[in-house]
Amino acid sequence: MTDCIFCKIITGDIPSTNVFRDEQVTAFRDLHPAAPTHIMIVPNKHIDSVNMLTNDDEQLIGHLFTTAKQLAAQEGIAEDGYRLIINTNANAGQTVFHIHLHLLGGAPMQHPMG
């Protein structure tokens, strides 16, 4: 999508601080972190939201989570714990309509959410 900010980050049209990239996903540091570690993990394929997933996307979405596990270990937050968040549509707080997984950690998380 030509107007999607995450698609532009994936193609390199918008600079980012990438921490991981392979043929399926790109991961980069959030510009406005909500925790000491805040990494966005996005599929290289544009998918608007969880509501737009198909059965063909199951492996890709699984790869988002295994990438999150790998990055949590790489960032040194796996042992103490981390949070993974996917927001779906406006009422959940989704502001960029390209599915993405937030990896947050490095400090105790607050409860309750919402």
Annotated catalytic sites, by residue? 100
Distance CA 100, CA 76 (A): 21
- CA triple 39-42-47, angle to 5 deg: 150
Distance CA 78, CA 105 (A): 8
* Among candidate residues 45, 52, 39, the one with its CA nearest the CA of residue 1: 45
In degrees rounded to 5, what are phi and psi of residue 29? -75, 140
